[in-house]
Amino acid sequence: MMIRTTTDPITLTDIDDPENHPCLYDGDGENGLEISFENEENLRAYIELGNDHRIVLQGDDSEDYVAEG
């Protein structure tokens, strides 16, 4: 499953037209996260933060978890 976020993680600005903005895809091709950015400068700043500050999605496979959506 691919997840797309349209909030720039640097400025927290919502991107209305992500097709016309830079993005970063992190994943294996089938499963991953696509992050949209306001501009190339914010994309580079996010990459420069390194793996310690990256967005990480984690599943919850406990019996109490109920998937919504």
Sign, CA torsion 55/16/25/65: positive
Mind listing the pLDDT tens digit for each residue in 28-45? 877 888 999 999 999 999
Structure tokens at 8: 């720039």
Q: Report yes or no on 32 lying in a domain.
A: yes
Q: Report yes or no on 61 lying in a domain.
A: no
Sign, CA torsion 36/4/15/8: negative
pLDDT of residue 69 exceeding 60, the answer is: no
Q: Report yes or no on 35 lying in a domain.
A: yes
Residue 66 pLDDT class (50, 70, 90 cuts): low
Spatial contact of 9 and 15, defined as CB atoms under 8 Å apart: no
Domain count within the chain: 1
Q: Report yes or no on 38 lying in a domain.
A: yes
Q: Report yes or no on 34 lying in a domain.
A: yes
Domain that holds residue 29: 2-53
Q: Report yes or no on 59 lying in a domain.
A: no
Residue 51 pLDDT class (50, 70, 90 cuts): confident
Backbone torsions φ then ψ of 57, nearest 5 degrees = -100, 135
Question: No. of H helices and E strands in the chain?
Answer: 1, 3
Q: Report yes or no on 46 lying in a domain.
A: yes
